[in-house]
């Protein structure tokens, strides 16, 4: 009789390892961003932001569609993996060649001469990323999240150190280029060596077409969303200046850094779990817990970050970055909503309705482009605000079909998140009142952080907030299981040590 798979343990273990991966890499990224921002200037970041527009769009062709198809397909074999590997590599090489040839024209159009060389060097991310894309899909499909932890942490540490050294020695924008490129090289090649899968000399065009039949919808969705998202950056960089783009980009960096703690584990773990347990009656409980946990964690963090931004920015990055304060506050709203959108998107894709996600994305992003065109006439603030409004609309529309698919639509989701909205609002009002104190700003910042955490956790304990109890029990369960595993290994080791003397 086949052993029943415990999806709850798989989900929780996967979430924990993804959380540890995000915690390690994002802490390194945070320290790096602070140090580099103090050493470099907004103009340097502006060049990287412009370059990232084109590389991100091209990378969507390589990393989207096929990878999700491999994860979603239940009977994936060696021929599927190898076919996708060679196809992804071919696409990446062609796209890099196009970037290399068009780099001079792009730099002239954007009136940024250094952009040509930066685009040609940083564009190497495409073939390198394609090289490790199938290993990433293989590891995700087989719940090998522990291996992700070591691969990403290693890349972040080494590339971070190199980036800081180069920035300190006056390499300017090239310090950022080196950091980005070295990080992906180490990540992909480390994952290549720690996973068991290797490309074989086999290929099937029929398998590739079959996988693309499902994946093209996800590819089209992600590509369309990426183009629309990067259109905002391109509009700012072209109509205004690279410095304005640097401020908006840096303003989103810290909320995005924190937001990845929720978004990446959700997408990496929830997709294979929902795809595998499509007939499980407890699926509603699983997604409800995910929504509640995301709201419980992200709402207070983003609210608090928006409140302390005027004090935090000059403390971290120096006063030359004060122009990004308002953009950080706007993007806190954006990344408070983003995990909810990711959950609903994964829920629909896991049931094979990728075309529905594409249709919704096209409709919402078209509305977003209209908002962008209007906002373009009024300034950078309104451009960034249009992003927030577009994301909110997309979440609201995506949640509706999940009512029919899972019985967990917009109404039930709003009901789940209302307690956390109220709790966050109460904490936010109290924390904001500290701004009226006539003491040193850094002391106010410390008081706000400590008071906010104490109030939020205390109310969670007193009123037994469901998400707090769920997360606490999950943590205790994982720690208990790890302790039992360690004890059993220790016992086995002791028995092995004593065995020779018993034989004697």
Of 3-17, 63-77, 169-183, 425-439, least confident by mean pLDDT is: 3-17
- Phi/psi of residue 477, each to 5°? -65, -45
Question: Lowest mean pLDDT: which of 5-9, 79-83, 239-243, 449-453?
Answer: 5-9
Band of pLDDT at residue 14, cut at 50, 70 and 90: low
Residues 6+ apart with CB under 8 A from 88: 62, 66, 130, 133, 134
Give me the residue label for tokens 């009024």: 378
b/e per residue, 174-205, with b = 16+ CB within 10 A?
bbbbbbbbbbbbbbbbbbbebbebebeeeeee
* Mean pLDDT on 222-250: 84
Give a yes or no: residue 369 inside a domain.
yes
Per residue in 323-374, pLDDT (tens digit) is 999 999 999 999 999 989 988 888 887 777 777 887 888 888 889 889 999 9
**What is the reported pLDDT for 286?**
78
C-alpha triplet 425, 427, 430: angle, nearest 5°:
105
Is residue 278 situated within a structural domain? yes
Look at 493 and 191; give whichever has higher pLDDT.
Answer: 191
Quick one: average pLDDT of 277-285? 63
Nearest to 344 by CA among 442, 281, 267, 438: 267
Question: Which of 1-15, 30-44, 268-282 is modeled with the greatest confidence?
Answer: 30-44
Please give the backbone phi and psi of residue 114, each rounded to the nearest 5 degrees, phi first. Answer: -65, -15
Residue 492: CB atoms within 10 A of its CB come to: 10
Instruction: Report the chain's terminal Cα–Cα distance, integer Å.
Output: 41
Q: What is the C-alpha separation between 444 and 305, in angstroms, rounded?
A: 14
Query: Which pLDDT value is given to residue 495?
Result: 56
137 lies in some domain: no
* Full domain range(s) for residue 388: 242-478
- Give CA–CA dist 426/423, Å, rounded: 5
Q: Residue 127 corresponds to which tokens in the numbers above? A: 């073939």
**Bigger pLDDT: 276 or 451?**
451
Higher pLDDT, 130 or 141: 130
Among 281, 287, 333, which residue's Cα sits nearest to residue 307?
333
What's the 3-state SS for 266-301?
Answer: HHHHHHHHHHHCCCCCCHHHHHHHHHHHHHHHHHHH
- The pLDDT tens digits of the residues spanning 387-411 come to 999 999 999 999 998 888 888 889 9
Asked, for residue 283, whether it belongs to a domain, the answer is yes
Write the CB contacts of 326 (distance below 8 Å, at least 6 apart in sequence).
251, 381
pLDDT above 70: residue 27: yes
Residue 33 confidence (pLDDT): 82
* Per-residue model confidence (pLDDT) at position 485: 56
Q: Which of 41-50, 69-78, 93-102 is least confident?
A: 69-78
Structure tokens at 98: 């196009």
| Number of domains within the chain | 1
Helices 115-122 and 173-194 cross at an angle (nearest 10°) of 10
Three-state secondary structure string covering 398-410: HHCCHHHHCCCCH
What is the arithmetic mean of pLDDT over 438-463?
91
Q: Which tokens go with 88?
A: 């992804």
* DSSP codes joined into one string, 131-161: HHHHHHHHHHHTT-HHHHHHHHHHHHHHHHH
Question: How far is Cα 117 from Cα 106, in angstroms, rounded to an integer?
Answer: 11
* b/e burial code for range 266-282 (CB count within 10 A of at least 16 → b): bbbbbbbbbbbbeeeee
Contact 369, 403 (CB under 8 A): no
Encoded tokens for 290: 């995910």
* Residue 374 is assigned to a structural domain of this protein: yes
Lowest mean pLDDT among 113-122, 178-187, 279-288, 492-501: 492-501
Q: Is residue 141 part of a domain?
A: no
In whole angstroms, give the CA distance from residue 221 to residue 223: 5
At 112 the pLDDT is 86
Lowest mean pLDDT among 43-52, 171-180, 209-218, 242-251: 209-218
In a domain, 198, yes or no: no
Any domain includes 121: no
Q: Across the chain, what does the average pLDDT equal?
A: 81
φ, ψ for residue 170 (rounded to 5)?
85, 25
CA dist 353 and 363 (Å) reads 16
Residues ≥6 apart with Cβ < 8 Å to 450: none
- The residue with greater pLDDT, 13 or 206, is 206
């Amino acid at each position: 009789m086949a052993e029943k798979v415990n999806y709850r343990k798989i989900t929780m273990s996967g979430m924990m390892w993804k959380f540890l991966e995000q915690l390690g890499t994002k802490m390194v990224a945070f320290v790096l961003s602070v140090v580099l921002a103090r050493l470099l200037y907004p103009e340097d970041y502006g060049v990287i932001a412009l370059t990232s527009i084109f590389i991100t769009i091209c990378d969507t062709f390589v990393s989207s569609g096929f990878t999700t198809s491999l994860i979603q397909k239940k009977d994936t074999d060696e021929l599927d993996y190898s076919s996708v590997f060679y196809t992804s590599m071919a696409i990446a090489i062609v796209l890099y060649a196009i970037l290399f040839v068009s780099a001079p024209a792009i730099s002239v159009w954007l009136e940024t001469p250094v952009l040509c060389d930066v685009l040609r060097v940083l564009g190497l991310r495409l073939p390198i990323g394609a090289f490790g894309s199938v290993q990433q899909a293989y590891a995700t499909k087989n719940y090998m999240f522990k291996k992700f932890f070591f691969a990403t942490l290693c890349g972040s540490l080494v590339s971070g150190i190199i980036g800081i050294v180069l920035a300190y020695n006056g390499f300017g924008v090239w310090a950022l280029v080196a950091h980005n490129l070295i990080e992906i090289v180490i990540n992909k090649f480390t994952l290549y060596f720690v996973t068991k899968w290797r490309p074989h000399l086999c290929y099937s065009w029929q398998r590739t077409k079959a996988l693309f039949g499902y994946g093209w919808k996800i590819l089209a969705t992600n590509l369309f969303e990426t183009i629309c998202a990067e259109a905002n950056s391109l509009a700012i960089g072209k109509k205004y200046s690279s410095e304005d783009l640097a401020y908006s980009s840096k303003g989103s960096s810290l909320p995005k850094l924190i937001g990845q703690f929720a978004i990446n584990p959700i997408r990496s773990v929830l997709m294979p779990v929902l795809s595998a347990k499509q007939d499980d009656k407890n699926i509603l409980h699983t997604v409800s817990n995910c929504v509640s946990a995301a709201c419980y964690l992200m709402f207070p963090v983003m609210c608090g970050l928006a409140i302390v931004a005027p004090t935090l920015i000059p403390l971290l990055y120096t006063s030359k970055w004060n122009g990004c304060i308002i953009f950080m506050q706007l993007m806190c709203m954006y990344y408070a909503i983003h995990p909810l959108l990711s959950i609903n998107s994964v829920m629909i894709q896991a049931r094979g309705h990728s075309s529905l996600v594409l249709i919704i994305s096209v409709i919402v992003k078209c509305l977003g482009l209209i908002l962008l065109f209007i906002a373009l006439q009024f300034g950078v603030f309104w451009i960034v605000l249009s992003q927030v409004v577009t994301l909110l609309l997309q979440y609201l529309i995506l949640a509706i079909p999940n009512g029919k698919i899972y019985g967990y639509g917009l109404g039930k989701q709003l009901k789940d998140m209302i307690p956390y909205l109220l709790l966050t609002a109460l904490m936010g009002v109290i924390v904001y009142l500290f701004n009226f104190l006539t003491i040193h700003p850094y002391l106010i910042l410390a008081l706000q952080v400590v008071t906010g955490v104490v109030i939020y956790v205390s109310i969670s304990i007193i009123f037994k907030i469901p998400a707090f109890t769920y997360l606490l029990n999950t943590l205790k369960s994982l720690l208990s299981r790890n302790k039992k595993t360690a004890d059993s290994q220790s016992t086995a080791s002791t028995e092995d040590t004593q065995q020779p003397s018993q034989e004697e």
